[in-house]
Chain A
Amino acid sequence: MSVMIILIAFSILIAGGFLIAFIVSTKKGQYDDVHTPSIRMLFDDEKPNK
């Protein structure tokens, strides 16, 4: 059963990694505007000039 401890440690480490990623992304303002990027990604790339 003691292998559980290693597993638990890993799982918390991974989850903690995601938490840190979440906090960092929030800090960088990724959640300040949740609407515009959804529209922005639909824009086509520039057509070559005629």
Chain B
Amino acid sequence: MKNTVSTDVQATCYHCGEKCTGAVIHFDEKEFCCTGCKAVFEILQNNNLCNYYSITQNPGVSQQRAHVNTYFDFLDEQHVIDQLSFYKEGSQIHVKFSIPNMHCSSCIWLLENLYKLNHGIVLSRVNFLNKEIHIVYNSDQISLKEVVLLLKKIGYEPNLSLDDLTNKHDKKVNRAQIYKIGIAGFCFGNIMMLSLPDYFSNGDFSNELYLNNIFNYLSLALSIPVFFYCAQEFFISSWQQLKLKKLNIDIPIAFAIIVTFTVSIYQILFLHKLGFLDSMSGIVFFMLVGRYFQNKSYNFLTFQRNFSSYLPIAVNKVVDGIEKNIPLTDTTIGDELVIRQQEIVASDGILLSEEAWYDYSFVTGESNWVQKHQHEVIYAGAIQKSAIAHLKVSKKPSQSYITQLWNSKKNPKFVSNTLLTTERINVYFSAIVLLLGSIAMLYWMYQGDYTTGLKALVTVWIVACPCALLLCSTFTYGNMLSILANNGMYIKNAAVLEKIKHIDTLVFDKTGTITTSNQSDIDFIGRDLSFAERDMIYSLAYLSIHPLSKSIADYFDQNDLLTVSEFKSYDGKGIEGKVQNTHIQLGSQQWLGIQSNGSNRYTKVFVKIENEILGYFEIKNKYRNNILTELKELSQTYDLHLLSGDNDAEKSSLKDVFTKDAQLNFNQLPEQKTSYIQQLQSKGKTVMMIGDGLNDANAFEQSDAGVAVIENENNFLPACDVILMSHSMHILNNVLGFITKARTILYITFSVSIIYNLIGLSFAMQGKLTPVSAAILMPISTVSVVGLSYILSRHFAKQFKLKT
């Protein structure tokens, strides 16, 4: 087995399937994009786990962008282990990790075969939808740290955050909803069966009184758990609303259930007649199913994540000149911390090193890296961009700037439970039905026929129960939510969907939202470079770990590496060196003594070979794929605005889309963003805010719908209403168009169920509705309405070219 390096352009990595952009590594007749991918392959090969590659093609995750943070020493501390493990049995310890990289069946296979890699692991079970792994390991043979390192080694680094340390593992799964559906379904089915003789004998069945009575009492017995257990939530929620003197949709449902139940008891006990228990349990069953469907949550996403899940779980503290890896919660003011490249600063601190570069884009929205000097304050949440820096903790993590920003949020609008329009219609509808029922009853009583009067009242209520109407909206919204989820848009609940229908103004954040946060466009401006010069610049930039040099090295990726002598790096200024006796310098304007030419919009790196200045590299934000055309399309229907915490360097390229000057706003602080949205709202606009970082958190809160754009499911995000995967940004227009179609779907399904209701009502008011027709009408209307909403939502999804 030879391990050679070549520059084959078209090769794809055997491990991760990505195009090998840099040097290709050949190993065992296979091609790899980086040493990381190769290393994973080697481990698997040595352990006879190559089945991994046969289940799905190129199942791995590229190791090029793997996390830099490799300090897991804190996992050796007993209190950390206690926090992370949720069950202990002798030396066997149970832990659960979230693994963001899990994405295919090969991943499941490998992760469940962990015991083959290390015999200390007793069992590993994957929950794919939650992207979670449950590991049981033997603490006599392997430590928690080694388990985590093993996972990292095979490319599945668990996502450990401060949240795991501060919150107890008490995520008890709530299965009550499933029990309720199961029991309601059981009772509903059996009551139906017991009612069958009555349906078909047209009431003659009552001849066999004793049998009839047994059937009726059995039905009654079966309906008791439905009434007292399954329907509980309707009673509780309507009682709470009534106490607040508010209306909600559960009130008419609860009312219908109570009326049907009491009337049925009366009929069974005193009239020896079959009541309407079948309809009652049917209503409860279908409503529960509908709710379950609509509220199906996305377990791997959380809409309310605490900021602490963004901060690293551990830091490196310097104790007596030696680095020690400790949990963040154990730091105190005055501690000296070491921060390496790409690590997140965990608490506010004072820089002890001479200089360092930070990326504040997440906290402030600023895309350019900021240079900090000794004794300057560094805020938590910044990402370290230069090699290594020491800082002294000046505030506890719980009091840092990022925490204050987080806590400055006012009222939590995200818990409000407003009435949906469809629900409002339902409440009115219920009122009308109540009125109609009373009219029918009074009419029959006026005629002197009291029993028919009572029967009319009850059947009107049962037939025209808002159930079918309500199911239209529950199922339509449920369908839409799952279609949208398939297309990378996760909506918190149906109320948000309803709000989005009314949106007329879109406000975008720039950095991280319409530009990507982890890639930048780099251009060389100056005279044409010869091949030799390209090689020289590449070779020099390759040696430096400064982020800017790395970007430049990536830019010249396919060039040859030459030997550099006399390499010198000057912090904050630049680098220099000699390649084949030619002196090259890469660095800032001031350092190379170039006159400033005014425009200071982008980060620039100048190139000087011998005494000639060849030009400079300009590092710009990279726009997301097709985002500008998408924005143009959106601007035809919506009023677009841009609020950026960044400088106005990109103004010219965005002018095409945001035509009016007032729509483009740069250098915005988080508070300014909020007040801008407030202004728009006071002009009667319904605003959707689309952003990504913590600097948008307050704007999300203020807007009518806050959309957080994320790269992958485990990204940290501020509280929001909608989570949009960044790769779905370019279909935003279609998605929003689809959502506005919700109304059409609802109108159609509403009309259908109203037709059923009218037919039923006309019989019911005449007092002619028999239990059998009620029992048939109800499921038919339910099934047809549910089916119709399913077909229609899929039809519209296709119309908007969405995946179904």
* Contact (Cβ within 8 A) B193 A11: yes
* Contact indicator B126/A19 (Cβ below 8 Å): no
CB distance from A20 to the nearest CB of B (A): 10
A18 to B183, CA, bound (A): 11
Interface positions, chain B 79-128, Cβ under 8 Å from A, are: 105, 108-109, 112, 126-128
A22 at the interface (CB under 8 A from B): yes
Taken residue by residue from 1 to 45, chain A's Cβ proximity to chain B (1 for < 8 Å, 0 otherwise) reads as 110110010011001101100110011010111111001101110
Contact across chains for B112 and A33 when beta carbons are under 8 A apart? no
Q: Which one of B174-182, B266-274, B322-330, B750-758 is at the A interface?
A: B174-182
Cβ of A40 to closest chain B Cβ, rounded Å = 7
B594 within 8 A of A: no
Interface pair A23/B190, CB less than 8 Å apart: no
* Contacts A1-B208, A23-B182; A35 near B129 (Cβ below 8 A): yes
In the assembled complex, B186 has its CB within 8 A of some CB on chain A: yes
- Of the candidates A1, A8, A40, A49, the one whose C-beta lies within 8 Å of that of B112 is A40
State A7–B584 Cα separation when bound (angstroms): 96
CB distance from A25 to the nearest CB of B (A): 10
- Min CB distance A5 to B, Å, is 6
Interface residue? B51 (CB, 8 A): yes
B211 touching A4, Cβ below 8 Å: yes
What are the residues of chain A within 8 A of B193 when measuring CB–CB? 11
- Known contacts A29-B173, A42-B105; A19 and B183 CB within 8 A of each other: yes
Number of interface residues of A (CB under 8 A): 29
CB contacts (< 8 Å) of B215 on chain A: these are 8
B211 contacts A26, CB within 8 Å?
no
Given B51, B55, B108, B182, which contacts A19 in the complex, CB threshold below 8 Å?
A: B182
Chain B interface residue count, CB cutoff 8 Å, equals 28
Could you tell me if B208 and A39 are in contact, using CB atoms closer than 8 angstroms? no
User: What is the bound-complex CA distance between A27 and B175, given in angstroms?
Assistant: 8
* Cβ contacts under 8 Å, A16 to chain B: 186
Q: How far, in Å, is A14 (CB) from chain B's closest CB? A: 11
Chain A residues within an 8 Å CB radius of B194? 8
CA distance A26 to B175 in the complex (A): 7
Shortest CB distance A7–B (Å) = 11
Please state if B214 and A33 are interface contacts (CB–CB under 8 Å). Answer: no
Q: How far is the CA of A19 from the CA of B222 in the complex (A)?
A: 13
Provide the residues of chain B in CB contact with A27, threshold 8 Å: 175
The A interface is mostly helix, strand or loop, or mixed, namely helix
A15 touches B189 (CB 8 A): yes
| B173 and A39 within 8 A (CB) | no
B130 at the interface (CB under 8 A from A): yes
In the complex, are the beta carbons of B126 and A36 less than 8 A apart? yes
Given contacts A39-B108, A43-B55, contact A33 B48 (CB under 8 A): no
Give the chain B neighbours of A23 by CB distance below 8 A. 179, 182-183
What is the distance, in angstroms, from B746's C-beta to the closest C-beta of chain A?
Answer: 29
Residues in B whose Cβ lies below 8 Å from that of A11: 190, 193
B561 within 8 A of partner (CB): no
Residue of B nearest to A43 (CB): B109
Q: Select which of B129, B175, B208 is within 8 A of A36 by beta carbon.
A: B129
Are A44 and B175 within 8 A (Cβ)? no
CB within 8 A of A49: which of B48, B108, B175, B182? B48
Pairwise interchain contact A12-B130, C-beta atoms closer than 8 A? no
Residues of chain B within 8 A of A29, CB atoms compared: 173
A-side contacts of B129, CB under 8 Å: 33-36
Q: Write out the residue numbers on chain B whose beta carbons fall within 8 Å of the beta carbon of A36.
A: 108, 126-129
Interface string of B686-713 (1 = CB under 8 A from A): 0000000000000000000000000000
Distance to closest chain A CB from B57 (angstroms): 16
Chain B nearest CB, measured from A41 CB (Å)? 11
What residues on B are CB-neighbors of A47 within 8 Å?
A: 51
Q: Which chain B residues in 186-236 approach chain A with CB under 8 Å?
A: 186, 189-190, 193-194, 208, 211, 214-215, 218
Q: Which of B120-147 contact A (CB under 8 A)?
A: 126-130
* Candidates A1, A19, A43; contact of B211 at CB < 8 Å: A1
Contacts A26-B175, A31-B175, A35-B129 given; indicate if A12 touches B109 (C-beta within 8 A).
no
A15 to chain B, nearest CB (A): 6
Q: How far is the CB of B181 from chain A (nearest CB, A)?
A: 10
Give chain B nearest CB distance to A12 CB in angstroms.
Answer: 6
Kindly identify which residue among B128, B178, B190, B211 contacts A12, using a CB–CB cutoff of 8 Å. Answer: B190
Residues of B within 8 A of A18 (CB): 186
> Closest CB-CB distance, A43 to chain B, in whole Å?
5
A26 & B178 in contact (Cβ 8 Å cutoff): yes
Residues of chain B within 8 A (CB-CB) of A39 are: 105, 108, 128
Judge whether A33 and B182 touch: CB under 8 Å: no
- Closest A-chain residue to B189, C-beta based? A15
CB closest chain-B residue, reference A19: B186
The answer for the CA separation of A15 and B208 in the assembled complex, in Å, is 25
**Closest CB-CB distance, B553 to chain A, in whole Å?**
40
Within the complex, the shortest CB–CB distance from A47 to chain B, in Å, comes to: 8
Given contacts A1-B211, A12-B218, contact A33 B189 (CB under 8 A): no
The 5 residue pairs across chains A and B that have the minimum distance between CB atoms: A36-B128, A19-B186, A33-B127, A39-B105, A35-B129
Q: Contacts A11-B190, A12-B218, A26-B175 known; list 5 others, CB within 8 Å.
A: A1-B208, A1-B211, A15-B190, A19-B183, A26-B178
Binding site for A on B (CB under 8 A): 48, 51, 55, 105, 108-109, 112, 126-130, 173, 175, 178-179, 182-183, 186, 189-190, 193-194, 208, 211, 214-215, 218
14 cross-chain CB contacts under 8 A: A1-B211, A19-B186, A26-B175, A31-B178, A32-B127, A33-B128, A34-B129, A35-B129, A36-B108, A36-B126, A39-B105, A39-B128, A43-B105, A49-B48
Residues of A within 8 A of B (CB): 1-2, 4-5, 8, 11-12, 15-16, 18-19, 22-23, 26-27, 29, 31-36, 39-40, 42-44, 47, 49
